[in-house]
Amino acid sequence: MRRIGVETGGSNIQFAIDPTNGEMVVIEMNPRVSRSSALASKATGFPIAKIATLLAIGYRLDEIENDITKVTPASFEPSIDYVVVKVPRWAFEKFPGVSSRLGTRMQSVGEAMAIGRTFTEALQKAMRSIELGRYGLGGDPLDKPLDLLGLDEVLNLATKATPSRIFEVESALRKGASIELVYEKTKIDP
């Protein structure tokens, strides 16, 4: 932050880690409160924008009162006993002729955030919330076409980055594919 001259305010940094060697690369940095900050605030109950503003005008963390407890200062991290999952919603069906291939550009038209006691619970809630007419992952009548395919066919579909990829990966795992095989075919790091 200091290297680029940001002294105060909220920022978020997105980075990628090479799973083979642990090398870390910064993909994007937003020296401002962003959509990611809003998600983090919702997920934790910690008012990031408010605290960043108060810090920018000279307050110290230990001088800012916690909005919820009214006793502890903002310097205490919130205790989180839940998992938050955010899932994008794509609507390529509304844009005939547009490729549904996913890349590095933002192509989602929305997102769903879900909270659960476990990752599985939060993911299932998020998948139901993106309004695809599905029950979630697995045990869904819309899984039927994938159920009729063999493991190799499903893995071949999952190699392509499309909105249906998560369902294809889930199907491959249900058909007995190992996590290592799914990684080898899709390059999705477990």
34 and 58 belong to one structural domain = yes
128 and 148 belong to one structural domain = no
What's the pLDDT tens digit per position in 135-158? 888 878 889 999 999 999 999 999
Domain that holds residue 147: 135-190
Mean pLDDT of the chain: 89
Of 79, 94, 118, at which residue does a domain stop? 79
Q: What is the CATH number of the domain that holds 27?
A: 3.30.470.20
Cα 130 from chain centroid (whole Å):
13
Work out how many domains the chain is built from and give that number.
Answer: 3
pLDDT-based confidence at residue 8 (cuts at 50, 70, 90)? low
14 and 47 belong to one structural domain = yes
- Whole-number Å distance between alpha carbons of 73 and 64: 5
17 and 41 belong to one structural domain = yes
50 and 110 belong to one structural domain = no
What's the pLDDT tens digit per position in 15-40? 889 888 999 999 888 777 777 788 88
Rounded to two decimals, what is the model's pTM? 0.78
